[in-house]
Amino acid sequence: MAACLATDYFPKSYNMTMSVGDKEETQSESNALLSIIDRSYSLFGFFTTQGTREEISCAVGGETKEFPAADQSQYSCIQVEDNMAA
């Protein structure tokens, strides 16, 4: 299973797209969580890879991170961007 996490961004208008091989899944901005402390949003997504060892990519707000199959065992959570403040 792969996971992507985007945190501390504003405005809410970002979708997250995760892809593995030819499969793609999108998390809608409507699933974003609002922090009442700093008024920023966070969005997460999970993608079942079913044992494939293909490159995983995660895209949010024009930023894309790609993780080659050889590096996947090092990550339990994929952080997309430290701060996506607009």
Q: Write down the pTM of the prediction.
A: 0.65
Q: Average pLDDT by consecutive 10-residue portion of the chain (86 residues)?
A: 80 86 83 86 79 78 78 50 48
Query: What is the pLDDT at residue 85?
Result: 47
Query: What is the pLDDT at residue 48?
Result: 74
What domain count does the chain have? 1
Structural domain span for residue 36: 2-61
Query: What is the pLDDT at residue 72?
Result: 53
80 in any annotated domain = no
Rounded distance between C-alpha atoms, residue 75 and residue 32, angstroms: 22
How does strand 78-79 pair with strand 2-10?
parallel
71 in any annotated domain = no
Query: What is the pLDDT at residue 29?
Result: 81
- Would you call 10 helix, strand, or coil by DSSP? strand
Query: What is the pLDDT at residue 77?
Result: 47
Query: What is the pLDDT at residue 76?
Result: 45
Using alpha carbons, select from 60, 54, 48, 53 the residue that is nearest to residue 7. Answer: 60
